[in-house]
Amino acid sequence: MPTLALNASRLSKRYGSLRAVEEISFSVHHGEIVGLLGPNGAGKTTTINMVLGILQPSSGSVQIEGIDIARHRSAALAHTNFAAAYAALPGNLTVAQNLRIFGLLYDVAGLSQRIDELLDEFDLRRLRNTRSGLLSSGEQTRVALAKAVLNRPRLLLLDEPTVSLDPSAADLMRIRIRAMASESGCGILWTSHNMYEVEQTCHRVLFVSRGRILLEGDPKALPQEHGAQTLEELFIRLAREPLNQSTAAS
């Protein structure tokens, strides 16, 4: 078994003269939760899209479980899954129908039993025949997360997964995701703007700004190492730094 769930090497994405992501390299180990942090437009979603194979990098490579996504897209993506606020499941299908459709797409063995497990695990049983579009945003997030773990992925990408959840539900979700990482050995790449959540959940964080990784380390130790009181303070400073530099330059 490969030691890395994800290995991104010198990943770049350019749109004409715009450099959305610039030569970033990072990895996610099995059982590790890595936070991808950065201000809006920093390149987080672009990076996740490249890892998911829906955006082709201008250069660099992505390996999931040691499989190069550019060469063996389907085999690589069979080991992964994702949940993102901007990629809601079809609202005109019921919860159970969505799980069945995506279970077939991911070729999940013992699908009916797996769906049953997830309905219980994510407290969705009473909603199984409700159309996803009629659910509250918190319930939709739970369905998206149930879909994201349907195929027991070795790499899970979560783009602001708790953004619509109330504090209690978000806490339960974080506990569940931490347990999943430690019990199943799944590597998780997590983006969030909630610094408390990142500190509580992630083993390691990557600060991205203007398409580059500026900092990397333990979210609990990083603030002190860089003279900040909290992760949020460090985030704000890093997020404004390039802006201040460019303002000064102009």
Partner 1 sequence: MRLRPIAAIALRQLYLMRSSPTRMLPMVAWVAIDMVLWGFISRYLNSVTAARINFTFSLLGAVLFWDFFTRVMQGVNLAFLEDVWARNFINLFASPLLISQYLGGLVLTAIATSLIGLLAMLAIATPLFGLHYAALGLLLIPFVMVLFLFGIALGVLTSGMVLRLGPASEWLVWPIPALLSPFVGVFYPLSTLPSWMQAVGHALPPSYVFEAMRAGLAGHAYPAFDLALAVALAALYILLACAAFTRIYRYAVRSGLLARYSAESMS
In the bound state with partner 1, the residue whose beta carbon lies nearer, of 53 and 185, is: 53
Number of residues that bind partner 1 (CB under 8 A): 34
In the bound state with partner 1, the residue whose beta carbon lies nearer, of 93 and 214, is: 93
Check: CB of residue 209 under 8 Å from CB of residue 37. no
CB of 104 to partner 1, least distance (A): 4
Residue 29 near partner 1 by CB under 8 A:
no
Question: Out of 85, 88, 169, 215, which residue is the one contacting partner 1 (CB under 8 A)?
Answer: 88
Residue 42 near partner 1 by CB under 8 A:
no
In the bound state with partner 1, the residue whose beta carbon lies nearer, of 83 and 124, is: 83
Q: Token pair 């990142």 is at which residue? A: 198
In the bound state with partner 1, the residue whose beta carbon lies nearer, of 30 and 100, is: 100
Residue 85 near partner 1 by CB under 8 A:
no
* CB-count burial class (<10 Å; 0-12, 13-18, 19+) for 174: buried
Stretch that binds partner 1, among 23-31, 45-53, 117-125, 191-199 (CB under 8 A): 45-53
Sequence-ordered alpha helix ranges (H) in the chain: 44-51, 73-77, 95-105, 111-121, 137-148, 167-184, 195-201, 222-225, 231-249
- Please report the sign of the dihedral spanned by the C-alpha atoms of residue 215, residue 221, residue 223, residue 224: negative
In the bound state with partner 1, the residue whose beta carbon lies nearer, of 26 and 82, is: 82
Check: CB of residue 56 under 8 Å from CB of residue 49. no
Of 224, 211, 192, 233, residue with least CA distance to 36 = 192
Residue 101 near partner 1 by CB under 8 A:
yes
Token pair recorded at residue 196: 């408390």
Helices (H) and strands (E) in the chain, counts: 9, 10
Residue 105 near partner 1 by CB under 8 A:
yes
Question: Out of 52, 118, 156, 181, which residue is the one contacting partner 1 (CB under 8 A)?
Answer: 52
Question: Out of 25, 59, 87, 137, which residue is the one contacting partner 1 (CB under 8 A)?
Answer: 87
Contacting partner 1 within 121-160 (CB under 8 A): none
Q: Token pair 């039993």 is at which residue? A: 113
Question: Out of 55, 169, 215, 228, which residue is the one contacting partner 1 (CB under 8 A)?
Answer: 55
Stretch that binds partner 1, among 27-35, 77-85, 170-178, 237-245 (CB under 8 A): 77-85
Rounded to an integer, what is the distance from CA 177 to the centroid of its chain?
A: 11
End-to-end CA distance of the chain: 51
Residue partners of 97: CB distance under 8 A and separation at least 6? none
Residue 91 near partner 1 by CB under 8 A:
yes
Give the residues lining the site for partner 1 (CB under 8 A).
13, 15, 46, 49, 52-56, 73-75, 77-78, 81-82, 84, 86-94, 97, 100-102, 104-107
